[in-house]
């Protein structure tokens, strides 16, 4: 029997997109003479620029994301059918990543907001597709679900920081209470994190990346300018809410997986507990 030919064009498209993303990253770190991201666009994306800017250590997560994207680029050469529909949104995320870096280098922070919101939407679509179909094995779960989960979680937090930077560049001062406004935004991030946990399939990567970003926001507001205990506490609270939701989801999944605890097995007992008589209705034979 003849084996089906590999979809060469799809594989090449992912590989070229990954190469362009890496080229954009090199531009972003100043490898070709440009300013690093934290110094570009007048420093609006520096760790001390806004109340929602994570401390410098947070950006080490990009090393993990790029390592995962590289692993995905290699892995997808053995994925003949793309049953989960990963390819197109993955390519979109890689190209939007490069576009975001170039927009920052050009000083177009407003444009960068549009780009990162599109990137967030693409990663959300990708997460939806991954949740709809389980991974084919441990390797796929790690390379695909893990990589794009971390990517989504980090971009969810980075989007808020990016919008805050654009608003500062436009002269917005947070209605005179930027710390309180930042806390409100972080509450919305917590809601988003819980939604991602509920929508995922035993989610780990996305909530972990969100918690990482939120903790580093707290560190930045506690130890660096602009100092804001309110924002720091709100960031830690948001991280705790997401962590609790993730642990609860894992516990519920583990309980359902135990013998005799599947939804079909526990439903009769639950219905009996809700019965006015506290037990099962008698059958026709018992009557």
Predicted pLDDT of residue 186:
98
- The b/e string for 126-154 (b: 16+ C-beta within 10 A; e otherwise) is bbebbbeeebeeeebbebbbbbbbbbbbb
Q: Say how many residues make up the chain.
A: 287
Question: 73 near 149, Cβ under 8 Å?
Answer: no
pLDDT tens for each residue of 121-140 = 999 999 999 999 988 899 99
pLDDT tens for each residue of 135-173 = 889 999 999 999 999 999 999 999 999 999 999 999 999
231's tokens: 């924002």
**Helix pair 147-169, 109-132: axis angle to 10 deg:** 160
Predicted pLDDT of residue 261:
53
Euclidean distance between CA atoms 48 and 56, whole angstroms = 9
Cis peptide upstream of residue 124 (ω within 30 degrees of 0): no
Average pLDDT over every residue of 95-115: 95
Residue ranges of the domains in the chain? Answer: 5-251
**Residues 6+ positions from 176 with CB-CB distance below 8 Å:** none
The values of phi and psi at residue 53, to 5°, are -80, 125
CA 22 to chain CA centroid, Å, is 20
In this prediction the pTM is 0.86
pLDDT tens for each residue of 182-208 = 999 999 999 999 999 988 766 789 999
19's tokens: 């190469």
Predicted pLDDT of residue 201:
67
Long-range Cβ pairs for the range 10-19 (8 Å, 24+) = 10/76, 10/82, 10/87, 11/76, 11/77, 13/87, 13/91, 14/72, 14/73, 14/76, 14/87, 14/90, 14/91, 14/94, 15/73, 17/90, 17/91, 17/94, 17/95, 18/69, 18/70, 18/73, 18/94
Please say whether the dihedral angle defined by the alpha carbons of residues 53, 58, 64 and 70, taken in this order, is positive or negative.
positive
In 3D, which of 208, 228, 207, 206 has the Cα closest to residue 217? 228
Cα radius of gyration rounded to whole Å, the chain: 23
pLDDT tens for each residue of 203-233 = 789 999 999 999 999 999 999 999 999 999 9
Is the model's pLDDT at 10 over the cut of 90?
A: yes
Euclidean distance between CA atoms 75 and 113, whole angstroms = 31
Predicted pLDDT of residue 11:
96
Burial (0-12, 13-18, 19+ Cβ within 10 Å), 257:
exposed
The whole-chain average pLDDT of the chain stands at: 88
196's tokens: 């991602």
pLDDT tens for each residue of 56-80 = 999 999 999 999 999 999 999 999 8
């Amino acid at each position: 029997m003849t084996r089906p030919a590999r979809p060469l064009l799809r594989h090449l498209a992912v590989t070229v997109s990954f190469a362009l993303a890496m080229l954009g990253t090199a531009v972003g770190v100043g490898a070709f003479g440009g300013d690093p991201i934290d110094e570009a666009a007048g420093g609006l994306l520096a760790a001390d620029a806004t109340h929602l800017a994570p401390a410098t250590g947070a950006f080490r997560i990009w090393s993990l994301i790029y390592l995962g994207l590289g692993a995905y680029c290699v892995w997808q050469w053995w994925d003949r059918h793309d049953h989960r529909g990963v390819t197109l949104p993955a390519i979109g995320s890689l190209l939007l990543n490069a576009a975001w870096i170039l927009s920052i280098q050009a000083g177009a922070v407003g444009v960068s907001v549009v780009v990162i919101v599109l990137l967030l939407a693409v990663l959300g679509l990708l997460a939806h597709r991954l949740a709809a179909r389980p991974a084919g094995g441990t390797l796929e779960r790690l390379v695909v679900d893990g990589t794009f989960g971390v990517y989504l979680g980090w971009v969810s937090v980075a989007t808020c920081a990016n919008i805050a930077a654009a608003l500062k560049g436009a002269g917005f001062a947070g209605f005179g209470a930027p710390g309180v406004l930042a806390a409100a935004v972080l509450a919305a991030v917590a809601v988003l994190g819980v939604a991602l946990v509920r929508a995922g399939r035993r989610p780990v990567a996305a909530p972990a990346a969100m918690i990482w970003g939120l903790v580093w926001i707290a560190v930045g507001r506690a130890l660096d300018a602009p100092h804001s205990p309110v924002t720091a506490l709100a960031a830690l609270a948001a991280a705790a809410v997401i962590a609790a939701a993730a642990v609860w989801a894992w516990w519920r999944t583990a309980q359902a997986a135990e013998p005799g605890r599947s939804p079909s097995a526990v439903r009769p007992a639950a219905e009996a507990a809700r019965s006015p008589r506290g037990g099962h209705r008698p059958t026709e034979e018992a009557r």
